[in-house]
Chain A
Amino acid sequence: MFRNQYDTDVTTWSPAGRLFQVEYAMEAVKQGSAAIGLRSKTHIVLGCVNKANSELSSHQKKIFKVDDHIGVAIAGLTADGRVLSRYMRNECINYSFTYESPLPVGRLVVQLADKAQVCTQRSWKRPYGVGLLVAGLDESGAHLYYNCPSGNYFEYQAFAIGSRSQAAKTYLERRFENFADSSRDDLVKDALMAIRETLQGETLKSSICTVAVVGVGEPFHILDLETVQQMIDAFEIVGEQEGPAAEPDAAAAADQGGSTEEGVAPMDI
């Protein structure tokens, strides 16, 4: 995308019918670190890659609990994501107070999308620079939605956003037909595998990723580091055994063999 005379403010259309500011906002999402989500009939798993600025600092929080039955993973301007999470939490709690019932995730997502749309039609505002993967339950089961800065929202079986998300999407595209009937643990494993795809060879460990689960009978919660590390260890071993069995992306298989060796520091990309 290059600079042009129609991209100064969001209230200017280009002759081709595009709003460049909105598209630039979607670019901001692509620059953020990866977030993925996948769902079965009863559970949804969200995962994200946590990159800290330096070894001294902590990593940014990218997964937020919105209510017992809704959680969100963000990619892009995390400050915008935090503000939108606060809005979502507010909406959920107000609904719960009035109706003593959880806000159906489909309705929250529409409210969020309408809020984003407002910012695409006011000259004194800018679009939110964050993409949100909203995971939640309602009467009809488990749902995963993606909310764009443009004000659009889509429902997905599985999706990935942020930098190097294409690798995760390719992985998910191959497997998604099985997700609907997956068990909860298999779903978490698939999420970790998808996260690993975005790391391009770097070792997957629980210190650089965050995983959260929500499902029927299971309130939204972020899995703790030990649990995640155990799951990684469990399938890394399997992965090593599968390596020689010629998977379609041989590069990934070769990396699996290599990454079980010591000495690959997290920031050494």
Chain B
Amino acid sequence: MNFMASKQPENCLLGPESDSQRTLYPYVTGTSVVALKYKDGILMAADLGGSYGSTLRYKNVERMKPIGKHSLLGASGEISDFQEILRYLDDLILYDNMWDDGNSLGPKEVHNYLTRVMYNRRNKFNPLWNSLVLGGVKKGEKYLGTVSMIGVNFEDNHVATGFGNHLARPILRQDWHENLSFEDGVKLLEKCMRVLLYRDRSAINKLQIAKITEEGVTISQPYSLKTYWEFSAFANPAQGAVGTW
């Protein structure tokens, strides 16, 4: 019995609420994904954390997965929606493989398919609560793009989701250049992930770096970054600004 029926304001364009179940807020979420193009392909990094609100509840959540032969998908946001997207893509790649005709969906095609899915769900007011990063190499062409939960999509030489946009992108804008070597690419990603680890409360110190080249996908084993907490700014934060904490 519902004594306090949920009432929509008169000017609301949403349909009847009783018979729909739509995503209102995320529950188990992943934080930033950071990716960049390098000499042989794409490098992508994400930690293995699944937060339940402010609790760092799950510490073994893989947020990057290979898609078909040519692509790699990383996601932040609602983990169950990411799993749903992986199911859609699984079907897509399956039907693509069943053609068995020498044609295959490359990263650009997968990225656009995801854009259509995300945008359509947003239009129905039932979004998949994710920010996705799609990277890949096909026939020597490197591709790196991103799609948000409202269907905004674009390609770039380096992309990030969530906090990564604010903390990692500025570092990448400064330090990224064409034809990074693998080692330099990893070092650059680790620099970004370290800043995120210090400053993003939903980040955990257990990350993976994934690489995709013409040969295929490799996702590293989880490892930790070395951190240093003895900076005087951490030890004595109020030094520069009296009254702060």
Contact = CB atoms under 8 A, between A and B. Distances in A.
Contact of B99 (A97, A101, A107, A140): A107
Nearest to A140: B102
Interface stretch (B3-11, B105-113, B173-181, B232-240): B105-113
Nearest to B101: A106
Interface in A97-151: 97-101, 104, 106-107, 110, 138-140
Contacts of A107: 99, 101, 103
B206 interface: no
B245 to A, nearest CB: 50
A104 B105 CA distance: 10
B226 to A, nearest CB: 42
Contact of B112 (A98, A106, A139): A98
B240 to A, nearest CB: 50
Interface in B92-149: 99, 101-106, 108-109, 112-113, 116
Contact of B102 (A100, A101, A139): A139
Interface residues of A, number: 12
B144 to A, nearest CB: 15
A106 B109 contact: no
Contacts, number: 33
Contacts of A106: 99, 101-103
B112 A100 contact: yes
Nearest to A101: B109
Contacts of A99: 105, 108-109, 112-113
Nearest to B102: A140
A100 B108 contact: yes
B112 A101 contact: yes
Nearest to A141: B102
Nearest to A139: B103
B101 A101 contact: no
A107 B102 CA distance: 11
10 contacts: A100-B108, A100-B109, A100-B112, A106-B103, A107-B101, A138-B102, A139-B102, A139-B103, A139-B104, A140-B103
Given A101-B112, A138-B102, A139-B104, 14 more contacts: A98-B112, A99-B108, A99-B109, A99-B113, A100-B109, A101-B106, A101-B108, A104-B101, A104-B103, A107-B99, A107-B103, A110-B99, A139-B102, A140-B102
